[in-house]
Chains A and B, each alone.
Chain A
Amino acid sequence: MKTEYVSRRPVLASRQFGKSRLYFWGLLFLLPEMIIFCVFLWKPIIMGMYYSLFEINFIKGNTFVGLQNYFDIFRDDSFLKAIRNTLWYIFLGLIMGFWVPAMAAIAISELRWFRASARLIVYLPNIVPAVALYGVWRWLFEPIGPLNKFLSVFGADPIMWLTDKSMAMFSIVLMNTWHHFGATALIYLAAVMNIPKDLYEAAEIDGAGVWQRIRHITLPSIRMIFVLMLIMQLISNSQSYEPQLAMTGGGPNEATLTYMLMVVNDAFRAFQFGKASAMGVILFTTLTALSILLYAMQRKEAN
Chain B
Amino acid sequence: MMKTSKTIMILTLMIAMLLAGCSQSTSGKNEGGNTGSQGGEATAAPETGDKEPEKVKITIQYPKPDQEVERLAMDDRIKRFQQQYPHVEIAKSDWHYSDGGAATLGVKLAAGEAPSYFNTYATEAKILTDNGYAADITKYLNDYEFKDQLNEKLLDIFKVDGKYYSFPQGGYVMTIGINAKLFRDKGVELPGYDWTWDELIEAAKAVNEPEKGIAGFAVAAKSNAAGWNLTNFMYQAGEFVEEIKDGKVTSTFNSDAGLKVLELYRQLRWEHKVLPGDWNLENPDMSNLYKQGRLGIIFHNNSLNTGINDGGFNVEDAKIYPLPSMEKGSPNYAITGGNFFVINPQQSEAQQEMAFKFITYDYFKESGIENEAKKIEERQSKNQVYVPDLMPYYSLDSEYAVKMTELHAEYPGVVYEFDKEFLNVFNQNAKAEPPFHAQDYYAIMTNIIQEIFSNEKADLAKLLKEGSEKLQTEFLNKVEL
Question: Residues of A at under 8 Å CB distance from B?
Answer: 16-17, 19-20, 23-24, 27, 31, 34-35, 38-39, 43, 56-62, 77, 138, 141-144, 158, 160, 162-165, 248-249, 251-255, 267-271
Note all chain A residues with C-beta closer than 8 A to B7.
20, 23-24, 27
Interchain residue pairs with CB less than 8 A apart (8) = A57-B30, A58-B29, A58-B106, A61-B30, A165-B455, A248-B222, A251-B221, A252-B453
Interface residues of B in 14-64 (CB under 8 A from A): 14-15, 18-19, 22, 29-34
Q: Please give the distance in Å from B111's CB to the nearest CB on chain A.
A: 9
In the complex, which range does the number of interface residues on chain B fall in?
35 or more
Specify which of A57, A62, A253, A269 is in contact with B447 (CB 8 Å cutoff).
A253
A158→B279 CA distance, assembly (Å)? 15
A34→B2 CA distance, assembly (Å)? 22
Q: Please give the distance in Å from A271's CB to the nearest CB on chain B.
A: 6
Report yes or no: A160 in contact with B277, Cβ–Cβ below 8 A.
yes
Q: Among B30, B110, B453, B470, which residue has the most Cβ atoms of chain A within 10 A? A: B30
Asked whether B450 is an interface residue with its Cβ less than 8 Å from the other chain, the reply is yes
Question: Which residue on A lies nearest to B6, using beta carbons?
Answer: A20
Question: Which residue on B lies nearest to A165, using beta carbons?
Answer: B454
Question: Which residue on B lies nearest to A37, using beta carbons?
Answer: B15
Note all chain A residues with C-beta closer than 8 A to B107.
58
Note all chain A residues with C-beta closer than 8 A to B413.
none
Q: Please give the distance in Å from A295's CB to the nearest CB on chain B.
A: 27
A57→B33 CA distance, assembly (Å)? 10
Specify which of B109, B278, B443, B447 is in contact with A59 (CB 8 Å cutoff).
B109
Stretch at the interface among B80-88, B125-133, B330-338, B370-378: B125-133
> Given A39-B22, A251-B280: A16 and B29 within 8 A (CB)?
no
Interface residues of B in 312-359 (CB under 8 A from A): 345-346
Say whether chain A's binding surface is mostly helix, strand, loop, or mixed.
loop
Asked whether B282 is an interface residue with its Cβ less than 8 Å from the other chain, the reply is yes
Number of inter-chain CB pairs below 8 Å: 129
Note all chain B residues with C-beta closer than 8 A to A268.
103
Report yes or no: A271 in contact with B127, Cβ–Cβ below 8 A.
yes
A164→B280 CA distance, assembly (Å)? 10
Asked whether B102 is an interface residue with its Cβ less than 8 Å from the other chain, the reply is yes
Report yes or no: B447 in contact with A254, Cβ–Cβ below 8 A.
yes
> Given A27-B7, A249-B222: A58 and B18 within 8 A (CB)?
no
Report yes or no: B278 in contact with A163, Cβ–Cβ below 8 A.
yes
Asked whether B223 is an interface residue with its Cβ less than 8 Å from the other chain, the reply is yes
> Given A59-B131, A163-B453: A38 and B33 within 8 A (CB)?
no
Note all chain B residues with C-beta closer than 8 A to A163.
277-280, 453-454
Report yes or no: A271 in contact with B280, Cβ–Cβ below 8 A.
no
Report yes or no: A20 in contact with B278, Cβ–Cβ below 8 A.
no
Specify which of B127, B278, B440, B454 is in contact with A253 (CB 8 Å cutoff).
B454
Interface residues of B in 85-108 (CB under 8 A from A): 102-103, 106-107
Asked whether B8 is an interface residue with its Cβ less than 8 Å from the other chain, the reply is yes
Specify which of B22, B30, B102, B131 is in contact with A62 (CB 8 Å cutoff).
B30
Report yes or no: A143 in contact with B18, Cβ–Cβ below 8 A.
no
Report yes or no: B31 in contact with A31, Cβ–Cβ below 8 A.
no
Note all chain A residues with C-beta closer than 8 A to B424.
none
Report yes or no: A59 in contact with B280, Cβ–Cβ below 8 A.
no
6 shortest interchain CB distances as A-B pairs: A143-B277, A268-B103, A59-B132, A20-B3, A252-B454, A253-B450
Asked whether B4 is an interface residue with its Cβ less than 8 Å from the other chain, the reply is yes
Asked whether B451 is an interface residue with its Cβ less than 8 Å from the other chain, the reply is yes
> Given A43-B19, A142-B278, A163-B280: A252 and B103 within 8 A (CB)?
no
Asked whether B213 is an interface residue with its Cβ less than 8 Å from the other chain, the reply is yes
Report yes or no: A39 in contact with B18, Cβ–Cβ below 8 A.
yes
Specify which of B127, B223, B346 is in contact with A249 (CB 8 Å cutoff).
B223
